[in-house]
Structures are given as C-alpha cells and as structure tokens.
Amino acid sequence: MAEQKVTKVTEGEEISKVVWHYVGVTVLWLSLIFSGIAIERLGLTSGYLTGIIPGEVNLLRQKNAEYETNQRKVMDENQRLNGLIGRERATSDALDICQNEKKKIEDELKQVKAGAH
C-alpha cells in the first residue's frame, strides 16, 4: 500500500475550514438564486419560472398593449372631433352665406317698398 502522510489539524483550523465551507456554499446558492431572478426578470427563460416570479418583460408587454389601445382610442376620438369641427366650420360658413343672402334680400325688399311709396 501507498504510504500516506497524515497531518494533524488543530482545533482552530478545523472550525475555520467548516465556517469557510458554509460561507462558500451560501454565497454560491445566493448567486445562483439572484442570477435566476435576473434571468427571469429579463424574460430570458421560456416560461419555467413565470408562475413563481413575475417577469419584467411580461409586465412591460401588458403596459405597452394597454398604452397602444389607449392611443388608438385617443386617435379615433381626435379624428371624430376633427370631423365634427370640420362639419361645424362648414355649417358656420353656410350659415354666414345664408345670413348674407337674407340681408341682401331684406335690403332689396326695403328698396322696393321705399320705391313703391
């Protein structure tokens, strides 16, 4: 058999090695957990953790869809109002023309009445 060299470990070194082992394992697990959270929040997973951790990308997609529908509503309302304003302007112009015609007819009627007397 091969000869093995045995070294004595003092009590302080043994405790130090155990503590550093647990510290290392804890840091490893924390880094894995935080990396997983970051990957999920960025939307780089294909839906594995979607039920556990809400993803930033899904939230942004929902907000984007909501904003697009709101924008469409505003644009439609804008077009409707522009149409109403255009019709109102045309109606106002037609009313002005009619009032001018009425005034001309009234003036002619006054002249005819004045000429008859």
Give the model confidence (pLDDT) of 54-72 as tens digits. Answer: 666 677 778 999 999 999 9
Give the residue among 25, 50, 22 at the shortest CA–CA distance from 37: 50
On whether residue 105 sits in a domain, the answer given is yes
Extract the tokens encoding 57. Answer: 């990308």
Question: Highest-confidence range of 42-56, 62-76, 87-101, by mean pLDDT?
Answer: 62-76
Average pLDDT over residues 84-88: 81
Separation between Cα atoms, residue 70 and residue 74, nearest integer Å: 6
Residues 60 and 41 in one domain: no
- pLDDT score of 1: 47
Total number of domains in the chain = 2
Average pLDDT over residues 23-28: 96
Domain range spanning residue 31? 11-54
Residues 61 and 108 in one domain: yes
Question: Highest-confidence range of 27-31, 85-89, 92-96, 111-115, by mean pLDDT?
Answer: 27-31
On whether residue 3 sits in a domain, the answer given is no
91: left (phi over 0), alpha (psi -120 to 50) or beta: alpha
